[in-house]
Structure 1
Amino acid sequence: MMNNLFSIFDPLTNIFNLPINWMSTFIGLFFIPFTFWMIPNRHFILWKFIIMKLHNEFKILLNFKKNKGSTFIFISLFSYILFNNFLGLFPYIFTSTSHLTISLTLSISFWLSFMLFGWINNSKHMFIHMIPQGTPTILMPFMVLIETISNLIRPGTLAIRLTANMIAGHLLLTLLSSSSNMMGTFLLIFLILAQIMLLMLESAVAIIQSYVITILSTLYSSETN
């Protein structure tokens, strides 16, 4: 039971001794036809509308006039996480964003780049950010310690937030589906309805989590400017 329950999160599952689970990260590229980029259609118009909304929101936080093009980094991050979250909802497709290997790699990479950029180019601003305005003198050492710790745990909280939300929904779906063999026809109908509702909820979680991770990364980046 436990082996079957957690087998969906097993990155060591292989075919002919080839660990190809992580290739699911790139499977979606094959689903996008060339006409998507060349001929305007409803999918392209919808995706362009989403990208422009994100661009208009991010450029307010990132001081777009000073750092032109910076919003596309975070739009790409949003697209990547959203794409992998949705792929994990399909049967027999490995969910890479449910593993800290992917989420920690993304969060630490972005966090390190923000810190290096901030301390090299805006070191005075980074020191000022350690002590909130109006802090009493006697509390300044404690505030520096607290701000330093909160800054260091940021990549971990980002990664755990994404991973935990992806794991929770998938585990619940797996638990419900594994109990279907012991149910009668009447209860099975309710189980199917519950599974459909959970899939809709997981679709919303996939969108919300990709947006939350991206907006938090944008806010962390804006603090270094």
Structure 2
Amino acid sequence: MTNLFSSFDPSSSSNLSLNWLSMLLGMMFIPMIYWFSPSRLTMMWVKILNYIHQEFKILLNLNKMKGTTLMFVSLFSFILFSNFLSLYPYIFPSTSHMTLTLALSLPLWISFMIYGWVNNTIHMFAHLVPQGTPAVLMPFMVCIETISNVIRPGTLAIRLSANMIAGHLLLTLLGSTGQSVGYLFLVMILIIQFLLMILESAVAIIQSYVFSILSTLYSSEVN
């Protein structure tokens, strides 16, 4: 690597940018027996998905939009697999790029806005002015609510990519100093690296849940 950020460069290994194929490696890690015979791993994953489904079901009005939870559960699963794959050595961290995170958040937000303004126009206008706002502050509240609504896909994308790239950079910085320190400091670095890997595993789960739950909240506001 020529610099610290070269591992996050989509064309660092080849000029064809084949690193994006790392998003499909999750399917290769799942053995074929997983789909045929139930196991403890299968039951654990089913329980997790059922829990996520119940969380989304509370937020969404499924009488009008049946099957919507399937889309958000799939989004959660995809981001979770991508986050965990980026923790493996020499695997391209796809979720650390705004190219992927913005491609996930922007189409969702645009579809929510089109659906809301076409079908629930009065409801969308009512969201621009919170209840109980004085008449003097109404023009300012419309501007503030409009700006906060427009930046939603950007905040979703930046939150996911920034949290993932921060831990990766910290692990890279600590790992690059291991060649020039003594034995005692090397042991300390290994312990810190191990603790950071546990933290990054928790961040991978939390950020995938936050991304999907915020997308669900945004979609529930347009109903």
Superposition TM-score, scaled by structure 1 size: 0.96
Report the equivalent of 1:38.
Answer: 36
Q: Deviations over 1:91-127 (max 9, x none)?
A: 0000000000000111101100110111111111101
Partner Cα distance (1:200, 1:178) in 2 = 19
Report the equivalent of 1:29.
Answer: 27
Q: Which moved more, 1:60-69 or 1:88-97?
A: 60-69
Report the equivalent of 1:19.
Answer: 17
Report the equivalent of 2:164.
Answer: 166
Partner Cα distance (1:32, 1:121) in 2 = 41
Q: Structure 1 counterpart of 2:24, which letter?
A: F
* Deviation of the 1:90 alpha carbon: 0.2
Report the equivalent of 2:7.
Answer: 8
Report the equivalent of 2:188.
Answer: 190
Q: Structure 1 counterpart of 2:10, which letter?
A: P
Q: Structure 2 counterpart of 1:51, which letter?
A: L
Partner Cα distance (1:185, 1:33) in 2 = 40
Q: Deviations over 1:143-200 (max 9, x none)?
A: 1111100000000011000011011000000000000011111111111111010000
| SS in structure 2 of the partner of residue 7 of structure 1 | helix
Matches within 5 A, 1:58-77: 58-77=56-75
Unaligned runs of 5+ in 2: none
Pair 1:148-2:146 in alignment: yes
Identity %: 61
Q: Structure 2 counterpart of 1:153, which letter?
A: I
Pair 1:128-2:100 in alignment: no
Partner Cα distance (2:90, 2:188) in 1 = 24
Q: Which moved more, 1:74-83 or 1:4-13?
A: 4-13
Pair 1:78-2:76 in alignment: yes
Superposition TM-score, scaled by structure 2 size: 0.97
Partner Cα distance (2:42, 2:173) in 1 = 37
Q: Deviations over 1:52-87 (max 9, x none)?
A: 001111011001233221111110110011110000
Unaligned runs of 5+ in 1: none
Equivalent of 1:51 in 49, 74, 82: 49
Report the equivalent of 1:102.
Answer: 100
| SS in structure 2 of the partner of residue 164 of structure 1 | helix
Q: Structure 1 counterpart of 2:152, which letter?
A: R
Report the equivalent of 2:112.
Answer: 114
Partner Cα distance (1:118, 1:33) in 2 = 42
